[in-house]
């Protein structure tokens, strides 16, 4: 029997046929929607007089525009208010399940899907959001799509797609203390580049990924698109199954054993062929910080900011542009860069383990005066679990604001924004110009613990020094 990787198996089992232009018509078993990229798609359906064909396969929540410090509606921003109401109306009219704010299950779509057990191995999953790759942590093939494709999914549950090549990325060895999944993915992107993954699905593997918790795998898969890869996944294993057991949409007791058998069969076959294989050593990875305006512009916290005169061609040009925007000095240590804002949250690092890792290490330490520090749980359920453990109080005692669930300052489609050229130590996923809401705002990406270290010190700091183990 020939050997196949997970991508090939999942693709094959969802193929409807070949389209005239040679693309595949691929069935998408789970479709997730949110308020930003779906209303226009529902509008297109109405225009064409089309129905939602499989409403039971689409699930909605609201995340990007939700204010994190305002619970009651109408929201003070009339545009945001119109968007949540539009989603509610669209779901009501079409029978799509909506995890609304009042449900207690609302949150960032990529936190909610796994939390509800909607994300399972061997599935195809799509959402009008590029961080849909997060769901690949479970051994699903999950990709971000545009709004016309959201329309295609609502109307037909299928997409016109070309298959991807598969690059296996093995990270072997053991991570040093203070090095997290965020550092691993930032390191991978730094080494392979922001468009190194174009045309590829990334299969993450090796000892480091085997040892990762499901939430750590989600952090890494989440940022695949930052490396240009539309899809990133980890083969399902015992940890995947344990995570899913007993979740609301997971297979029930009577279906469980056969589901697990099926899931196991979707994993890449030992000895299967990949289009490319790349190896990294865990020991080479340190706490990592971005200094520029794309996620590959990253260095270890111990390094100095790159000097354009030591670089050539487009790398030199982009470094100059980045340093000018970031107002950072070439050659200076990254450590010690003053920060104005610290943000812990997002679909990358807004899960319970992220919050717990920081809270349990705060030990009475305080946020530096003048730094605005906020913690935004990824979902209402994360928030509730954190509060049951008293994490909210620990954060508040340390001087962090404790907010309601949402995308918050990751992309500032809500009131949480940088002002002017504030510099934010952020656990989110993008450091693009203007990403956090101010056209001159500056973002440095790092792990939640590194964000906390920056918040306490008032400057970029090595978390291993601030929080000695």
Partner 1 sequence: MALEKITSVSGQGVYVPGDDIDTDRIIPARFMKCVTFDGLGKYLFYDVRYDSDNNLTQHALNDPRFSKASIMLSGMNFGCGSSREHAPQSLHRAGYRAVIAGNFAEIFFGNAINLGIPCVALQQSERNSLAEIIESTPDTEIKIDLVQREIIANDTRFTFEIREGARESLLNGKWDPIDELLSKAEDIQKVASSLSYS
- Asked whether the beta carbons of 125 and 28 are under 8 A apart, the reply is yes
Angle at which helices 448-457 and 352-362 cross, to 10°? 40
Does 14 interact with partner 1 (rule: CB under 8 A)?
A: yes
Q: Whose Cβ is closer to partner 1: residue 162's or residue 360's?
A: 162
Nearest to 57 by CA among 86, 77, 89, 28: 28
Q: Which of 388, 439, 468, 469 binds partner 1 (CB under 8 A)?
A: 439
Cα separation, 433 vs 388, in Å, equals 37
DSSP per-residue string spanning 62-94: --SS--SS--SSSPSSHHHHHHHHHHHHHHHHH
Q: Which of 55, 206, 434, 458 binds partner 1 (CB under 8 A)?
A: 434
Q: Which of 76, 102, 103, 195 binds partner 1 (CB under 8 A)?
A: 195
Does 80 interact with partner 1 (rule: CB under 8 A)?
A: yes
Q: Which of 88, 165, 170, 199 binds partner 1 (CB under 8 A)?
A: 199
Specify the stretch interacting with partner 1 by CB under 8 A; choose among 73-81, 102-110, 372-380, 449-457. 73-81
Q: Is the peptide bond before 74 cis (omega within 30 degrees of 0)?
A: yes
Does 422 interact with partner 1 (rule: CB under 8 A)?
A: no
Q: Whose Cβ is closer to partner 1: residue 163's or residue 333's?
A: 163
DSSP state of 333: B
Nearest to 337 by CA among 216, 434, 421: 421
Does 415 interact with partner 1 (rule: CB under 8 A)?
A: no
Location of structure tokens 């029978």: 95
Strands 231-234 and 200-205: parallel
Q: Compute the least distance from the CB of residue 141 to partner 1, in Å.
A: 13
Q: Compute the least distance from the CB of residue 225 to partner 1, in Å.
A: 8
Q: Which of 109, 169, 205, 411 binds partner 1 (CB under 8 A)?
A: 411
- Asked whether the beta carbons of 444 and 289 are under 8 A apart, the reply is yes
Cα separation, 388 vs 201, in Å, equals 38
Does 94 interact with partner 1 (rule: CB under 8 A)?
A: no
Q: Whose Cβ is closer to partner 1: residue 22's or residue 270's?
A: 22
Cα separation, 432 vs 281, in Å, equals 28
Would you call 335 helix, strand, or coil by DSSP? coil
Q: Whose Cβ is closer to partner 1: residue 161's or residue 220's?
A: 161
Cα separation, 464 vs 449, in Å, equals 9
How many residues line the site for partner 1 (CB under 8 A)? 83
Instruction: Mark residues 246-285: x for contact with partner 1 by CB under 8 A, - for none.
Output: -----x-------x--x-----------------------
Does 20 interact with partner 1 (rule: CB under 8 A)?
A: yes
Q: Compute the least distance from the CB of residue 12 to partner 1, in Å.
A: 11
Specify the stretch interacting with partner 1 by CB under 8 A; choose among 37-45, 276-284, 342-350, 454-462. 37-45
Specify the stretch interacting with partner 1 by CB under 8 A; choose among 100-108, 126-134, 268-276, 447-455. 126-134
Q: Compute the least distance from the CB of residue 283 to partner 1, in Å.
A: 30
Nearest to 52 by CA among 183, 151, 133: 151
DSSP per-residue string spanning 382-429: HHHHHHHTTHHHHHHHHT-EE--SS-GGGT-SSS----TT-EEEESSS
Specify the stretch interacting with partner 1 by CB under 8 A; choose among 20-28, 174-182, 332-340, 396-404. 20-28
Site for partner 1 in 137-176 (CB under 8 A): 143-149, 151-152, 155-160, 162
Long-range CB contacts for residues 47-51, cutoff 8 Å, separation at least 24: 48/155, 50/154, 50/155, 51/94, 51/155
Strands 200-205 and 288-290: unpaired
Instruction: Mark residues 450-469: x for contact with partner 1 by CB under 8 A, - for none.
Output: --------------------
Site for partner 1 in 103-122 (CB under 8 A): 120, 122
Site for partner 1 in 336-395 (CB under 8 A): none
Q: Compute the least distance from the CB of residue 40 to partner 1, in Å.
A: 5
Site for partner 1 in 49-68 (CB under 8 A): 50, 53-54, 56-57, 64-65
Cα separation, 90 vs 67, in Å, equals 21
Q: Compute the least distance from the CB of residue 160 to partner 1, in Å.
A: 4
Q: Whose Cβ is closer to partner 1: residue 95's or residue 146's?
A: 146
Specify the stretch interacting with partner 1 by CB under 8 A; choose among 16-24, 359-367, 377-385, 393-401. 16-24
């Amino acid at each position: 029997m020939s050997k196949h990787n997970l991508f090939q198996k999942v693709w094959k089992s969802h193929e409807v046929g070949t389209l005239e232009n040679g693309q595949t018509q691929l069935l998408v078993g789970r479709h997730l929607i949110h308020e930003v990229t779906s209303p226009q798609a529902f509008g297109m359906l109405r225009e064409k007089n089309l129905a939602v064909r499989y409403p039971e396969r689409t699930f909605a929540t609201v995340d990007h525009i939700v204010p994190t410090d305002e619970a009651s509606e109408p929201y003070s921003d009339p545009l945001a208010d119109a968007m949540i109401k539009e989603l509610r109306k669209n779901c009501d009219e079409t029978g799509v399940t909506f995890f609304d704010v009042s449900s207690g299950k609302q949150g960032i779509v990529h936190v909610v899907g796994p939390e509800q057990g909607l994300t399972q191995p061997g599935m195809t999953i799509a959402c009008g959001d590029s961080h849909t790759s997060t769901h690949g942590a479970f051994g699903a093939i999950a990709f971000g799509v545009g709004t016309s494709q959201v329309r295609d999914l609502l109307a037909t549950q299928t997409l016109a797609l070309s298959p991807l090549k598969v690059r296996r990325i093995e990270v072997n060895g053991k991570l040093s203390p203070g090095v997290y999944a965020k550092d691993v993915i930032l390191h991978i992107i730094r080494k392979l580049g922001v468009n190194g993954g174009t045309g590829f699905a990334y299969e993450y593997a090796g000892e480091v990924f085997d040892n990762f918790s499901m939430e750590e795998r989600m952090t890494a898969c989440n940022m695949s698109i930052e490396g240009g890869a539309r899809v990133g996944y980890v083969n399902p294993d015992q940890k995947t199954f344990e995570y899913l057991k007993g979740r609301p949409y997971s297979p029930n007791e009577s279906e469980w054993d056969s589901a697990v058998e099926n899931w196991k069969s979707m994993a890449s076959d030992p000895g299967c062929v990949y289009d490319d294989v790349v190896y990294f050593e865990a020991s080479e990875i340190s706490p990592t910080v971005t200094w520029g305006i794309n996620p590959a512009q990253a260095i270890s916290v111990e390094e100095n900011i790159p000097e354009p005169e030591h670089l050539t061609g487009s790398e030199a040009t982009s470094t100059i542009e980045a340093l000018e925007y970031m107002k950072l000095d070439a050659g200076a240590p990254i450590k010690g860069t003053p920060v104005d804002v610290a943000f812990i949250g997002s679909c990358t690092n807004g899960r319970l383990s992220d919050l717990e890792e920081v809270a349990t290490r705060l030990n009475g330490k305080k946020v530096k005066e003048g730094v605005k520090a906020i913690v935004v749980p990824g979902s209402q359920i994360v928030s509730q679990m954190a509060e049951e453990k008293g994490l909210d109080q620990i954060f508040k005692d340390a001087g962090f604001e404790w907010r309601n669930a949402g995308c918050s300052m990751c992309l500032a489609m809500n009131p949480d924004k940088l002002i002017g050229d504030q510099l934010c130590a952020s656990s989110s996923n993008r450091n693009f110009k203007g990403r956090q809401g101010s056209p001159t705002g500056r973002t440095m990406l790092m792990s939640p613990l590194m964000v906390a270290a920056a918040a306490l010190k008032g400057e970029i700091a090595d978390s291993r020094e601030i929080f000695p183990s």
